[in-house]
Structure 1
C-alpha cells in the first residue's frame, strides 16, 4: 500500500499516495467527511461532483455538503481509493475502485475541501484557487 509513503509534489499537483486505502467512515454535518484507513480524512465543505466514467458521457451527481444533500456519496463506504490528486489550483480528484470519481473545485470565497493525515499532513483548497500544504516537517 503506497499510503505509507509521503505525498509527492509535482509541478502542478500533489499525488497524495492514498492508493489502496478504504473509506471506513462517512459523516455528515455541514460538511461531508470521508474517514479513511491509516488516519487519513477527506472533508468536503463546498459543492462537489460524483461521477462514474467520463464527464462527457455522465455529468454525475452533485454533492452539496452545506445542505446535507450528499446521499450519492454513501456508496463510497467500503470503496478503495485508486488515485487521489490535489491540484495546486485548489482542485481535488479522487478515483475509487467502484468506478466513482469525486471532484471538487476551488471556491472563490471559502475553503472547498481539506485532507489531513499522519505526520501532520494537511492539504487545504484555499479561497480563490490555491492550495495550502503543511506537514510536521514542512510548510508550503
Structure 2
C-alpha cells in the first residue's frame, strides 16, 4: 500500500533529537513525526547523510537545517518506507524496519499513521470535530 500523507504544504516548525527524532510540522504545530528507525537526509546541496536509531545527533545540523522548509511531497510505502521532499530541495527517508516501528505521525485532529514492523501501515483517520 502507498499513501500520501496529509502534511503537504505545511512548514517544518521544530526538530528535537534524543532517543527519537521528533519533527513538528505546521504553524501552529499540527503534526508530530516520530522517527525511531534509521533516517537519511539528502541535503539541499545534494549531500547524503544518515544515522541509525538512537544516533540522530550525528546528523543534527542536517536535520535542523530543514526547519522553515515546506513539505512538497510526503509518501509512505509498505515497501520503501517514508519519503518527504521539502521546498529547500532536501529529502528525508526512513526505510521500513523488519523488527521495529520505524516511524509514526500523529495530528492534533486524531490522524495517525504508524509504520509497523515489516512495513505494514496502521492508519487512523482524522476526527470530524474537535472534542474539548
Instruction: Return the TM-score normalized by structure 1.
Output: 0.78
Displacement after TM superposition at 1:52 (Å): 4.1
SS at match of 2:69: coil
Q: Which residue of 2 aligns with 1:83?
A: 73
Distance in 1 of aligned mates of 2:32 and 2:115: 14
Partner of 1:62: 50
Instruction: Confirm or deny: 8 A CA contact 1:90 1:125 kept in the other structure.
Output: no
C-alpha RMSD of the superposition: 1.9
Q: Deviations over 1:57-110 (max 9, x none)?
A: x57100334023231211011111111111133610000011001011110111
Inter-partner Cα distance in structure 2 for 1:90 and 1:43 = 17
Q: Match of 1:95? A: 85
Which 4+ runs in 1 deviate beyond 6 A? none
Q: Across the two proteins, how many residue pairs are aligned to each other? A: 122
Number of the residue aligned with 1:49: 40
Give the unaligned 5+ runs of structure 1: 1-11
> Which residue does the alignment assign to 1:115?
105
Distance in 2, Cα, partners of 1:89 & 1:131: 10
